[in-house]
Structure formats: C-alpha cells, structure tokens
C-alpha cells in the first residue's frame, strides 16, 4: 500500500534522528574490551539512566506542585514515575541473562567505575529523602555536579513537602519538622503518624491527601522492588565479590532494603 503523503525530502527539514540526536545516543556504546556481552552491559545501564532522568524530571516537578497545593497535578507525575519504575525493574531481567563467566571476560575493563556512582540514582534517593553524607565525596571530581548534588542533598524531599501539606491542611504537625535540616534522613514523628491515621480513617474528607499517600506508597514499593532485583542480579552474576567501585556489593545492596522512605505510611496499615 503506497503512502502518497509521506515526506521524503529532508534537505530543509529536521529528521527524526536529528530531533533525538541519535548520532550521539547510538555512538555512545563503546566497548572497552571488545567482548560481545559488554554491549548488553552498557545498553542496560544507559537505558536505566535515561529512565532515571525522566523519574527525576517528574519527581522534582511533583515536589514543586505539592508545595503549591496542586495535588491533582502531582498525582499524574507520580503515577508516571510508577510506570517508569516498572521499566527499570524489568531491565534487571535482561541483564540477568549475562552469566558470571561472560561478565568476567570484561569486568576488569570497568576499572573502578560502578553503578554505585550513579549520581542520578543518588538524586532519586535524595528526592525520596534518603541522605547519606559520605556519598557526596564520590562526586568531588566534577565541581558543577558536586554542587548540584549538594543542593539536592540539602533540599526538602517529596515526603517533607507532603508533611508540609498535612500541616497546611490543619493537622497538628510538629513545627520543628517544617523547617528541619533536610540533609538528615527523616526517621518518623508521632504527629505525622497521627495525621496520616486520620487521613486513612476519613478518606472522603481528605481524599487528595489520601491519594498522595497512596501514590507515595506505590513509588516506595516499586523502588524497593528495583533495589531487590538489583541485589539479586548482582548476586547471580558476581556472587559476594566486592563491587568494582569498592562497595561490599550484595551485602551493601541488602543493607538498604530495610530502609523505609515514608515510615508512617507503612505503619498506618497496622494501626487502622
């Protein structure tokens, strides 16, 4: 079937490839070892970083929207984050096709480069409220990047602005939480727990706050699934070896599985 209206002359028009800068994107997979399976390793990590870029784009705008009490707008962004998370979770299934013997053929080519150093992953953790000061040292090589990470490290995360939204809605939130040091990982507060309990007990009155809470639970649930699949994929490929970046590998990945970003939103399920 002929498509008579299709454009074929692009001498003076932008093409699909030019719009997406595919010349740069598709020339960025440089195998250092020349081993066939290194291509898989590079593509999986690059694709995951692109998805992380979109997650950050949505999370940061959602934080701004919640601060302005524009909750319905934030819901769309947070729902999109959850959908993106399914993509990066499933990416581990593809990487898991890499066997230990295949990975050892090119692992030395990575030097000390490691996914542990992913600054976008750190920015996501900061946006979700998980902040570890020693992490910032990794990025001192690039002053501009280090500055951006420090700013995000000190800024309120999405749960901090959700707590502020609770306060603006009339809940008796501990005032110290509203202006606390946001570079410190949040660990919970009785006033926040009481507020969320009331929200869940009176869904009709606090529908938007209830929806916000459930969107946050969706994101934490998916992030922990991503962490778990990361840990199991690493264990499957290198066992309990030290990571290329010097981390304890599987042991480190297991240690973060118990951390809760939004503790009261999990505790409320027991209290209801």
Does residue 41 have a known ligand-binding role?
yes
Does residue 268 have a known ligand-binding role?
no
Tokens of 8: 């074929």
For Cα atoms 157, 160, 164, give the angle at the middle one, nearest 5 degrees: 140
The H or E element containing residue 58 is helix 38-67
| Nearest C-alpha neighbor of 44 from the set 10, 102, 91 | 91
Does residue 61 have a known ligand-binding role?
no
Does residue 230 have a known ligand-binding role?
yes
Does residue 103 have a known ligand-binding role?
yes
d(CA 162, CA 76): 16
Does residue 45 have a known ligand-binding role?
yes
Q: Chain-centre distance of CA 144, in angstroms? A: 21
Does residue 138 have a known ligand-binding role?
no
Under 8 Å between Cβ of 220 and 262: yes
- Kindly give the interhelix angle for 119-128 and 143-154, rounded to the nearest 10 degrees: 10
Which parts are annotated binding residues? 41-45, 103, 107, 230, 244
Which parts are annotated binding residues for substrate? 41-45, 103, 107, 244
Which parts are annotated binding residues for heme? 230
């Amino acid at each position: 079937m002929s498509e008579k209206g299709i454009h074929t002359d692009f001498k003076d028009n932008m093409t699909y490839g030019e719009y997406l800068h595919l010349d740069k994107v598709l020339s960025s997979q440089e195998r250092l070892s020349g081993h066939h399976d290194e291509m898989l390793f590079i593509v999986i990590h690059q694709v995951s970083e692109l998805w992380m870029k979109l997650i950050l784009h949505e999370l940061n705008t959602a934080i701004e929207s919640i601060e302005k009490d524009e909750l319905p707008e934030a819901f769309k962004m947070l729902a999109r984050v959850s959908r993106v998370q399914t993509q990066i979770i499933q990416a581990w299934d593809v990487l898991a096709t890499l066997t230990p013997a295949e990975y050892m053929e090119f692992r030395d080519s990575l030097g000390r480069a490691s996914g542990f150093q992913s600054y976008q992953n750190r920015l996501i953790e900061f946006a979700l409220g998980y902040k570890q000061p020693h992490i910032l040292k990794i990025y001192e090589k690039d002053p501009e990047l280090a500055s951006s990470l420090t700013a995000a490290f000190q800024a309120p995360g999405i749960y901090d602005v959700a707590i502020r939204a609770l306060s603006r809605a009339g809940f008796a939130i501990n005032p110290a939480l509203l202006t606390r040091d946001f570079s410190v990982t949040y660990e919970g507060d009785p006033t926040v727990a009481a507020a969320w309990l009331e929200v869940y007990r009176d869904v009709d009155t606090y529908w938007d706050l209830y929806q916000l809470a459930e969107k946050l639970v969706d994101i934490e649930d998916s992030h922990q699934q991503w962490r778990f699949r990361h840990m199991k994929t690493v264990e499957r490929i290198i066992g309990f070896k030290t990571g290329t970046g010097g981390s304890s590998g599987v042991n480190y990945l297991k240690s973060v599985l118990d951390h809760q970003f939004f503790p009261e939103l999990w505790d409320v399920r027991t209290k209801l």
